[in-house]
Amino acid sequence: MKITSVREISVPLHANIANSVVNFSAHTVSLVAVVSDVVRDGKPVTGVAFDSIGRFAQTGILKDRFIPRLHETDPDELISENGRHFDASKVLEAILRNEKPGGHGDRAHAAAALELAIWDLNAKLEQVPAWRCIADHFGVDPRMEMPVYAAGGYYYPTDSLNRLADEMRHYIDLGYTRFKMKIGGASLQEDMKRIEAALSVVGEGAYLAVDANGRFDRETALQYGRAMKNFGLRWYEEPGDPLDYDIMASLAEDYPHALATGENLFSTQDVRNLIRYGAMRRDQDYFQMDPGLSYGLTDFARMVDLMETSGYSRRQLQPHGGHMIALHVVMGLNVGGSEAYPGVFAPVGGYTPGCRVGDGTVSPTDAVGFGLEEKPDLKPHIDELIQ
Ligand code: MG
């Protein structure tokens, strides 16, 4: 058994929206296919994945470094001990050969796209959904559905408060029971009015999280924390720069409710530093690392281990995502849940039409792998990739 080819295309993201820091209209995603020499129904069994949302395609790194290194590796070195799968950790080791430690940036996303395609390939070889393959591999009792919240709450140029309330009402109509909205793109006073407008629709603060997307300095982060304290929000996400652990530690002393961060930490070492210096509170705060941005599932599982050996629950992990890969990872590793971005970030964002969304949870069909081929807007890109 061996890998015969690895392909990548850059797919534009459909998202003419902005948070307090980033406009997504020019964003792209790397869609990767790993083709094996195993043939079923006249076609080679092929793993497909992408590198999550919000960080651009990684065509150069994949085509110049990672794909050539994979082809240079002895195929026998990439097979699991039982001989039935490809070993994702060995694939990761092969593609990272001669890479220096540290500096985990775009490289971590490129590696993730390829590593996750190996999990899709393995699940297809076993003819099971990816969550089952992941749970079996890591010896985890999987969860059968994923708690999901609707992430949005964007800024609108006109009639901002009414449109924000309408947006939240729309999510309720779609079956969501928990929500997240942006802050940090307006004055503190305006943002407080926006939070009140959202709460007037969703009810209690326990149903609503806010996300500053890393915008604030320490003083602003603390001011927002004090202003929001009485709302009792579900969590306060990425208040400051993702690598400024001291801001998190300051807030942990000052802000009584849950904090969340981690979607922009791309390595186990970064998470270790968050735990060492960020004062994340056990049984309260949330971690949000995304396997699609941080070397794939191999490293993500190490992050889960690190959390547990440091006294946190894996249910405190709510990976950034909003797509099919995150759904299967959350179920397979039995972590806390993830998000949905209803109506934006197509074609990779969102769940397939057969997925059941309701009562604040989502569950997949029994499609093999991540089920990406069942996504009508993504299928033409997959066909282009593997034709
Ligand atoms: Mg966020």
- pLDDT of 15 > 80? The answer is no
Q: Which two tokens stand for residue 82?
A: 């039982």
Among 109, 320, 375, 381, the one annotated catalytic: 320
| Distance of CA 376 from the midpoint of ligand 1 (Å) | 26
pLDDT of 156 reads 86
- pLDDT of 44 > 90? The answer is yes
| Distance of CA 266 from the midpoint of ligand 1 (Å) | 14
What average pLDDT does this structure show over 340-352?
91
Cβ count near 38 (within 10 Å): 15
97-145 per-position pLDDT tens digit: 999 999 999 999 999 999 999 999 999 999 999 999 999 999 999 999 9
Q: Is 320 a catalytic residue?
A: yes
Neighbours of ion ligand 1 (CB under 5 A): 211
What's the per-residue H, E or C state across 193-234?
HHHHHHHHHHCCHHHEEEECCCCECHHHHHHHHHHHHHHCCC
- pLDDT of 356 > 80? The answer is yes
| Distance of CA 211 from the midpoint of ligand 1 (Å) | 6
262/264 Cα distance (integer angstroms)? 5
| Distance of CA 84 from the midpoint of ligand 1 (Å) | 37
Whole-model pTM: value is 0.97
| Distance of CA 250 from the midpoint of ligand 1 (Å) | 19
Q: Angle 134-56-351 (CA atoms, 0-180°, nearest 5)?
A: 45
336/253 Cα distance (integer angstroms)? 24
What average pLDDT does this structure show over 325-335?
98
pLDDT of 290 reads 98
| Distance of CA 238 from the midpoint of ligand 1 (Å) | 6
- Per DSSP bridges, beta strands 208-211 and 3-12 are unpaired
At 38, which amino acid appears? V
DSSP 77: G
Closest CA to 6 of 54, 56, 72: 72
What average pLDDT does this structure show over 36-59?
95
Cα separation values, 236 from 146, 189, 225, 322, Å:
21, 17, 8, 18
87/67 Cα distance (integer angstroms)? 16
At 332, which amino acid appears? G
pLDDT of 55 reads 87
Q: How confident is the model at residue 24 (pLDDT cuts 50, 70, 90)?
A: confident
| Distance of CA 199 from the midpoint of ligand 1 (Å) | 19
Q: Is 182 a catalytic residue?
A: yes
Among 104, 137, 182, 328, the one annotated catalytic: 182
Give the list of residues 6+ apart from residue 310 with CB closer than 8 angstroms, or none: 275
pLDDT of 21 reads 78
| Distance of CA 320 from the midpoint of ligand 1 (Å) | 7
CA-CA-CA-CA dihedral for 34, 354, 211, 256, to nearest 10: -110
- pLDDT of 54 > 90? The answer is no
- pLDDT of 20 > 90? The answer is no
Q: Do you find a cis peptide bond into 347, omega within 30 degrees of 0?
A: yes
The secondary structure element, H or E, covering residue 301 is helix 297-309
At 230, which amino acid appears? N
295/52 Cα distance (integer angstroms)? 11
154/166 Cα distance (integer angstroms)? 11
Delineate the domains of the chain, giving CATH numbers in brackets: 3-127 (3.30.390.10), 138-373 (3.20.20.120)
Task: State the average pLDDT for the chain.
Answer: 96
32/50 Cα distance (integer angstroms)? 6
Q: How confident is the model at residue 18 (pLDDT cuts 50, 70, 90)?
A: confident
